[in-house]
Amino acid sequence: MMESALTARDRVGVQDFVLLENHTSEVAFIENLRKRFKENLIYTYIGSVLVSMNPYKDLEIYTKQHMDRYRGVNFYEVSPHIYAVADNAYRSMRTERRDQCILISGESGAGKTEASKKVLQYYAITCPASEHVQTVKDRLLQSNPVLEAFGNAKTLRNDNSSRFGKYMDIQFDFKGAPVGGHIINYLLEKSRVVHQSHGERNFHIFYQLIEGGEDDLLRRLGLEKNAQQYQYLVKGNCPKVSSINDRNDWKIVRKALSVIGFTDDELLNIIASVLHLGNVQYGGEDSGSAYITTETQIKYLARLLGVDGTVLKEALTHKKIIAKGEELMSPLNQEQAASARDALSKAIYGRTFTWLVNKINGSLAFKNASVIGLLDIYGFEVFQNNSFEQFCINYCNEKLQQLFIELTLKSEQEEYEAEGITWEPVQYFNNKIICDLVEEKFKGIISILDEECLRPGDASDITFLEKLENTVGGHAHFLTHKLADGKTRKVMGREEFRLIHYAGEVNYNVNGFLDKNNDLLFRNLKEVRAQAATQFKNSLAKLMEILMSKEPSYVRCIKPNDAKQAGRFDEVLIRHQVKYLGLMENLRVRRAGFAYRRRYETFLQRYKSLCPDTWPNWDGRLVDGVSTLVKHLGYKPEEYKLGRTKIFIRFPKTLFATEDALEVRKHSLGMSYSQKTKYRKMRQSAIKIQAWWRGILACREAKRRREAANTIRRFIKGFIYRHQPRCPENEYFLDYVRYSFLMKLHRSLPKTVLDKSWPTPPPALIEVRYICHESVIRTVIDSSRCEMRDYKMVASEIFKDKKDNYPQSVPKLFVGSRLSDDCANIIHPSPQYAVPVTKYDRKGYKARNRQLLLMANSAIIVEEAKLKQRIDYSSLKGISVSSLSDGMFVLHVACEDNKQKGDVVLQSEHVIEALTKVAICAEKMNSININQGSIKFNVAQGKEGIIDFTSGSELLIAKAKNGHLSVVSTAD
């Protein structure tokens, strides 16, 4: 149970922040986090809210055994864990028949994405399954790597940062099995497609495709295996990251896409087109008009997007203007054309991402199901330079904080009312004033931004800032450089406005606000005007409706440091996150009433031994038993309340005192009479076992020493009688000497027949030398047979059923040389194989007697030991031989220099043996071509010769009238 860890609170803190004695102290809050983080306890509760610290290392707390431990167990019966939150939501959905949602928030790098993965994995493994359900589980799990590839990127804070918000509904049937899902995405950071800050990367999918894509795929898409070649991938100067394996991730994504039901063409063509768009370059004419200088990119784009290249080219260099109902094409300058190109890239990627999500939803669709929602949304962001994206993200967190406090207060109030406890109103900061400042109709910041984007005239980011000053300049949570006092102006830019959020002050730079809100392309690029902030506001309103309709659970993620280092605890950074996650606010709301609440049976079962009236069993009503127990413990009336089914304890110190008393009581219970009797019996049994075992060990040692002494005596006595005939006194010694000799001979047995360095044997083993000598001879003979067998097998693979005279070569042994002794003695060094051959000139086909020698690295042709030609095995392209019974063959040689003037035409009486040896020495077993009818060969560079083969009664080789070399082969 959770209370069992209270005795270790000095070392590991408390598992629930509600039990902090000084619950209003931020220092005490962070110190509790530090204690637990130091002990690798990354999860802590605030009531039912889970606070999660990113450990930046693998912890063995996500195994199947851990899942079983949390499955079906009461929320507070086990230590805090993401599995406890997941299981509690699942059981509430099943038992209460009410849809649930798990809200996961935190800044980039805090572990939100990993937390959502753990929840999905928990449901995938622990929920009931069938063949259909297993398919759905696979698709649910595989949607994660796909969405991460297309929606996540490496940032300065996180190597796998989600650059979009995600809400996923996991749908369950009446049996509790996951049968479907639905995903809603929010505010994809499309600007990252065309620009990344230094040290950051574009979305993962681009690098995965470039690094891991197969050669055929990249060739079809017109891409190179080098991210440096693409303008959209080098802005951050960080194409590769040591912690990211793009090649392996590509394999995972390809597998996930196939599981979900995607085909390559429908998705990868679009991704490749974005990269090609980024490489479209412009030049400028004297008139200032832009023109495209990279025609190759336009060809690729036209093919990949399925559009007319001329139309696309015009759309990227002109804009369409409608004047008095007439359409006119106006040329763009270089800057405008580049902006149009980037706007098109962002629009393509944004719509592709939306289509991707819809496609995933289509594969998971299911109706009439219970739902557990999973919200993985960006946390409050404060950077050195905060732009439109941070404005939307922080506005989202304002709405979530408003919902968080409202629902927390609501759940507290509902529990008190259900238990009959009087609810005491709680004072808290209501951030509705900030939400209204942003979203109020006609005079909120979003309305002013939309109005400025739509009005005619020269609207700009500065005019938007001026309009903000005129409209909301007097608001308590709004400030600009112009409206600030002298001290504040020193830290604010003239292009910034400040919002005082619930989590602190944030300065926003208005540069780019209008462009990003417009998301505007020229008309001929088929994009319509859309206000991003309004769209986000409407999406957020729908999300709030979804969340309000469900029973919420919360996971607050914290990153301990910016360096992603395990074990490092950055107190300043953590204090900042504790503030903007609203954790102290949540703790204060929870502690406004009672710090501890448990059902009567749980409380009584744990602490009943502290009261004589309730120990060992209480037979009456549970509420009466608890009342008797707390009165015996001396609880004051203001320290606790008794509800209908639970006891409520107001102060942690009251619970701690009870827990300490239980620890003392455990020791006294252990010293009871029954325990003492049991202890004595166990002690006596242990002593008997120890004595018996010591006796066995002593007997074994004595026996070992006795045997050793007897062995030494026998050895000495045998040495004394060593020259006597074999008798009982010396047989042990003589056997030992023979054994030693045989082992020595085994370790140093001569390897060759001629080796005479044999160890001197004892008299009884003189004959062993001759036996071993015969064994060596047999070994040599066996090795020769093995070698012959290998040659014959290679010959069979090459020539069997392919060359007519192969059967005649089978019974003949292959030898190492076919030369006479006189010829062999004058060749040095010795070749691996030698055979006499007849060489035919390439021009007149004159026959000349030669010898073919196979050396280690080359084949050489000699005449009476005089080198005529050297053919390196590396330059040997192939070998051609006819299918008839002649001995002709051609060595095809690469003519890369003047040393090799053409292919070599040879004839040998041992053609099967010779070619088998050549194939093995040159490692060209697969390069021998057996031809029927004729063989073509190179006479010289650019000139070709032909050998024609026919069957006849005798072997004839001559130059024919057509200039070919004619060979008449004898029949078998």
Looking at residue 423, what DSSP letter applies? P
Amino acid 124: pLDDT: 87
Q: Is 106 annotated as a binding residue?
A: yes
Same domain, 828 and 956: yes
Amino acid 250: pLDDT: 93
The residues with which 506 forms a beta bridge, in sequence order, are 499
Any domain includes 829 = yes
Same domain, 759 and 849: no
Respond yes or no: is residue 199 known to be catalytic.
Answer: no
Same domain, 909 and 843: yes
Same domain, 796 and 774: no
Any domain includes 293 = no
Any domain includes 916 = yes
**Which is catalytic among the residues 213, 379, 444, 945?**
379
Distance from the Cα of residue 410 to its chain's centroid: 41
Respond yes or no: is residue 189 known to be catalytic.
Answer: no
Task: Let me know the angle formed at the C-alpha of 464 by 458 and 468, rounded to the nearest 5 degrees.
Answer: 150
Q: Is 112 annotated as a binding residue?
A: yes
Amino acid 869: pLDDT: 86
Amino acid 249: pLDDT: 93
Distance from the Cα of residue 312 to its chain's centroid: 38
DSSP 680-718: HHHHHHHHHHHHHHHHHHHHHHHHHHHHHHHHHHHHHHH
Per the document, the length of the chain is 972
Respond yes or no: is residue 379 known to be catalytic.
Answer: yes
**Which is catalytic among the residues 52, 162, 202, 880?**
162
Same domain, 961 and 837: yes
Q: Is 902 annotated as a binding residue?
A: no
Any domain includes 535 = no
Dig out the tokens for 888 from the structure: 């002709």
Reduced to 3 states (helix: H, G, I; strand: E, B; else coil), residue 527 is: coil
Same domain, 846 and 950: yes
Q: Is 631 annotated as a binding residue?
A: no
What burial letters (b/e) apply to 61-86, b meaning 16+ CB within 10 Å? bbeeeebebbbeeebbebbbbbbbbb
- Pick the closest to residue 394 from 543, 533, 222 (CA basis): 533
Q: Is 111 annotated as a binding residue?
A: yes
Helical packing angle, 768-799 and 731-747, nearest 10°: 30
Amino acid 568: pLDDT: 93
The residues with which 919 forms a beta bridge, in sequence order, are none
Same domain, 751 and 878: no
Looking up residue 819, the CATH number of its domain turns out to be: 2.30.29.30
Amino acid 385: pLDDT: 87
**Which is catalytic among the residues 54, 79, 113, 553?**
113
pLDDT per position as a tens digit, 361-413: 888 888 778 899 998 877 778 888 888 888 888 888 888 888 877 777 777 77
Residues 200 and 106: their CA atoms lie apart, in Å, by: 20
**Tokens 């009087």 -> residue:** 422
Cα distance between the two ends of the chain: 93
Q: Is 109 annotated as a binding residue?
A: yes
Amino acid 530: pLDDT: 54
Respond yes or no: is residue 161 known to be catalytic.
Answer: yes
Last residue of a domain, one of 723, 755, 778: 778
Any domain includes 885 = yes
Any domain includes 599 = no
Cα dihedral 577, 579, 581, 583 sign: positive
Any domain includes 763 = yes
Residues 165 and 104: their CA atoms lie apart, in Å, by: 11
pLDDT per position as a tens digit, 487-538: 888 888 899 999 998 878 899 999 988 888 776 555 455 444 456 677 778 8
Ranges under pLDDT 50 in the chain: 1, 523, 526-529
Do 900 and 881 meet the contact criterion of CB atoms below 8 Å apart?
no
Amino acid 526: pLDDT: 46
Same domain, 764 and 894: no
Last residue of a domain, one of 730, 757, 778: 778
- Cα diameter, the chain: 134
Indicate the residue type of 343: A
Do 291 and 282 meet the contact criterion of CB atoms below 8 Å apart?
yes
Residues 243 and 159: their CA atoms lie apart, in Å, by: 8
Amino acid 21: pLDDT: 78
Same domain, 804 and 914: yes
**Which is catalytic among the residues 126, 152, 158, 880?**
158
Respond yes or no: is residue 113 known to be catalytic.
Answer: yes
Do 910 and 862 meet the contact criterion of CB atoms below 8 Å apart?
no
Distance from the Cα of residue 2 to its chain's centroid: 34
Amino acid 527: pLDDT: 41
**Which is catalytic among the residues 3, 200, 381, 913?**
381
Q: In what helix (H) or strand (E) does residue 84 lie, and over which residues does it extend?
A: helix 82-96
Respond yes or no: is residue 625 known to be catalytic.
Answer: no
Give the domain extent around 817.
788-970
- Count of domains observed in the chain: 2
Do 170 and 144 meet the contact criterion of CB atoms below 8 Å apart?
no
Q: Is 211 annotated as a binding residue?
A: no
Residues 311 and 296: their CA atoms lie apart, in Å, by: 15
Same domain, 758 and 812: no
Residues 879 and 47: their CA atoms lie apart, in Å, by: 82
Q: Is 113 annotated as a binding residue?
A: yes
**Which is catalytic among the residues 48, 161, 628, 809?**
161
Long-range own/partner contacts, residues 320-324 (CB < 8 A, 24 or more apart): 320/522, 320/523, 320/524, 322/523
Any domain includes 625 = no
Residue 883: phi, psi to the nearest 5?
Answer: -90, -5
Dig out the tokens for 337 from the structure: 């054309």
Same domain, 751 and 840: no
**Which is catalytic among the residues 32, 108, 185, 202?**
108
Same domain, 810 and 867: yes
Respond yes or no: is residue 858 known to be catalytic.
Answer: no
